[in-house]
Amino acid sequence: MTEKFLDKISSPEQLRQLNEKKLPAVCNELRQFIIDHVAQSGGHFASNLGSVELIVALHYVFNTPEDEIVWDTGHQAYPHKILTGRQGEFDTIRKYKGLSGFPSPEESNYDTYHVGHAGTSISVALGLAKARELKNKNNHVTAVIGDGALTSGLAFEGLNNTHSAKNFMVVLNDNEVSISKTMGAFAKHFSKIVANPKFRSFKHQAGKIIGGIPLVGNTLTRAILRVQGGIKHILAPQNVFENLGFHYIGPVDGHNVIEMVEILKMCKTETDTPVLLHVMTKKGYGFKPAESDPESYHGVTPFDKTVGLSNGKKSTPTYTETFSELICNAADENNKIVVISAAMCGGTGMTKFAEKNPDRFVDVGIAEQHAVTFAGGLAARGMIPVVTIYSTFLQRAYDEIEHDVCLPNLPVIFAVDRAGLVGGDGKTHHGVFDISYLRHLPNMKIFMPRDKIAMEKVLSFAIENKSPCAIRYPRGAVSQAICELPDFAEEKITSWEILKSGDDITLIAIGQMVSRAFKTAEILEKNGVTATVIDACAIQPLDEKTLLQIAKRNNKIVTLEDHVLAGGFGSAIIEKLCDENIDCKIIRIGIENKFVEHGSIDELYSELGWQPEQLAEKIIEEMKITKS
């Protein structure tokens, strides 16, 4: 009977008590555990299958948590969570009140830092190392970053500052894929390092000959690796990491856990110079469908592990798919449209556009700042750039939006995907800040269409518009309800739409909150309260004419937004009414000053009090409406 190990490991200390020869079996168990459980519960998949051996080796060699490991982004850290005492809770991952899908210090002292966005690990790790130095400690600090995340400008700012770090290592987990295929010059540079036939031949022959010498093989192999830097200056003189002051080691096979352990032991002895260990892995390793299509298996819903993901067509398209269809149609009619992605071609639904218009699609890698300023340059010469980025990632490019797009008043279209709550990805990914950081910018227009027809009208306006324009839309299925919006014209498309009339109160909502407002109005009506319901698709500029008319007729207003209250849509309403010296009783429905946890959208809406029954009760209580 095959010996089992994983059930006996509740901490890395127990892992380190095993003989090295047992580690491949541990890796096999760990990989199968991930396949079994993620297939049932969903979550990040391909990246975690690819990181198993690396994570096992790191915890085996380093004395974690005293030796600190910082995971970049953190979606590849499921094996880390399982080995650090959370195996029994793993079925709760990304679920309401369960484990986070990303490292979280609130869960475990093995999670050194809150992460979720790409490119942060090296800077964080350097901060930890500097604090260690100031406290006269000598523990090791390691940053683990993928080749996709290394396209982030922040990552290179960290690398540039690493030259004097001691007891410090960066592990480059190179799988040629971030979510979509890694793009750009540095991806090509890594490929050249890996493909260098002289170096690969030298490494293979030296390892084969020396590793076979009894008793001293491993020691001599480590000695050879110590002088590898000088050899690579001859064989691969353009290694950028050596030029940045690192002792570069690699590329090494990231799925050979025994070899990884030996190399990491050697790296651990390099105390005076920062080490960059270049590890080659394969996303989806050990599960053939994920190996063949790592992008589709990046994040998955529950699936049958015996057959893989279903190719069945969903009955209702998502907002992302709807925008993709609309922008493809628009590009057929207008050859000035250029779509820009920041390493999220599939995630933002732009795969079809890229296939149809390869010359008008640019994936800049995980470089949101560059994406925005690049779009500004395109717009300055008459093109119509469409920047497709998740709301939570667009905030990384705030200065570029202000300085390079809004200040010169350039017609860049921002397709702000995943606006609002996103569910299982949680607080690092909820898109609930973009209205606040966009609304105060001069020249910026902001829309949030509630359904497909509204999105089509707004996109048509944005393409003809001569100033910056943001189109927010959420994750999930798009409403197919047909609404009669005004014909295209700036003064009309920015007008709000009154969906239902009532005398006692006015509900003004945006996006997905429109249908919630309508259902709330129906409940209020059963309680003898009639409500006007308004779809405020145009967030910036406000439809001041409609707002003032409503406020003067009815001084009880409720605003509904899936966004933080501070600086949000409701704040804009209050500001305008204050400027006009109009006295109204206003309830703002939105997110108080907090980060929202992970869970299903329905669970999070209930926690926030956004279910129609909860909203109706709150409105009746706070407004204290009495029938005349």
Q: What is the number of other CB atoms lying within 10 angstroms of the CB of residue 340?
A: 26
Alpha helices in 217-318 (DSSP H): 217-226, 228-235, 240-243, 257-269, 288-292
pLDDT tens digit sequence for 579-591? 999 999 999 999 9
Q: Please name every residue paired with 323 in a beta bridge, in sequence order, or none if there are none.
A: none
Sheet holding 247-253, edge to edge: 68-71, 141-146, 168-174, 275-280, 247-253
Q: Which residues pair with 507 in a beta bridge?
A: 533, 558
Given a contact cutoff of 8 angstroms between Cβ atoms, the answer to whether 66 and 110 are in contact is no
Which residue reads 């329905």 in tokens?
A: 602
DSSP for 308-366, written as a single string: BS--PPPSS-BHHHHHHHHHHHHHHH-TTEEEEESS-TTTTT-HHHHHH-GGGEEE--S
Q: Is 396 a residue of the active site?
A: yes
Residues 131-148 have a mean pLDDT of: 96
CA 102 from chain center: how many Å?
A: 11
What is d(CA 508, CA 551) in angstroms, rounded to the nearest whole number? 11
Strand bridging mode 497-500 / 531-535: antiparallel
Produce one character per residue of 149-162: b if its CB has 16 or more CB atoms within 10 Å, e if not.
bbbbebbbebbeeb
Q: Is the pLDDT reported for residue 480 higher than 70? A: no
Among 311-325, 338-352, 574-588, which stretch is predicted with the lowest mean pLDDT? 311-325
Residue with tokens 């469908």: 289
- Helices then strands, counting H and E runs in the chain, come out as 27, 19
Task: Judge whether 48 and 76 are in contact, CB under 8 Å.
Answer: yes
Domains 319-492 and 497-623 are alike in CATH topology: yes
The DSSP H or E segment spanning 60 is helix 52-61
- Confidence at residue 109, expressed as pLDDT on a 0 to 100 scale: 96
* Confidence at 627, pLDDT banded by 50, 70, 90: very low
Of the candidates 31, 283, 452, 475, the residue annotated as catalytic is 283
- Tokens in use for 107? 């869960």
DSSP assignment letter at 612: H
Alpha-carbon distances, residue 358 vs 147, 167, 350, 351, 373 (angstroms): 23, 45, 11, 10, 20
Residue 322, classed as helix, strand or coil, is helix
Tokens of 169: 């290592």
Q: What are phi and psi of 390, to 5 degrees?
A: -60, 145
CB 199 within 8 A of CB 305: no
Catalytic residue among 396, 418, 445, 452: 396
Which pLDDT band, with edges at 50, 70 and 90, does 326 fall under? very high
pLDDT bracket for residue 26 (50, 70, 90): very high
Q: Which pLDDT belongs to residue 602? A: 96
Would you state the pLDDT for residue 198?
41
475 tagged catalytic: no
Helix, strand, coil tally for the chain in percent (to 5): 45, 15, 40
- Distances, alpha carbon 277 to alpha carbons 58, 252, 373, 387, in Å: 12, 8, 33, 34
Q: What percent of the chain is modeled with pLDDT above 70?
A: 86
> CA 240 to CA 4: how far, in whole Å?
43
pLDDT at 234 over 80: no
Q: Is 22 a catalytic residue?
A: no
Domain ranges of the chain: 6-196+236-300, 319-492, 497-623
Match domain 497-623 to its CATH number in 3.40.50.920, 3.30.465.10, 3.30.110.40, 3.30.1360.170.
Answer: 3.40.50.920
SS3 of 23-79: HHHHHHHHHHHHHHHHHHHCEECHHHHHCHHHHHHHHHHCCCCCCEEEECCCCCCHH
pLDDT tens readout for residues 149-181: 999 989 999 999 998 899 999 999 998 754 445
Distance CA 348, CA 342 (A): 10
Q: Per-residue pLDDT for 484 more than 80?
A: no
H or E segment at 533?
strand 531-535
Position 528 pLDDT exceeds 80:
yes
What is the radius of gyration, based on Cα positions, of the chain? Answer: 27
Per-residue pLDDT tens digits for 249-262: 999 999 999 999 99
In the beta sheet, which residues pair with residue 535? 497, 509
> Two tokens at 545?
């004419």
Q: 29, 176, 368, 561: which is the annotated catalytic residue?
A: 368
Q: What dotted CATH number matches 6-196+236-300?
A: 3.40.50.970
Length, in residues, of the chain? 628
CA 140 to chain centre: 28
- CB of 360 closer than 8 Å to CB of 354: no
CATH architecture of the region 319-492: 3-Layer(aba) Sandwich (3.40)
Give the amino acid at 178: S
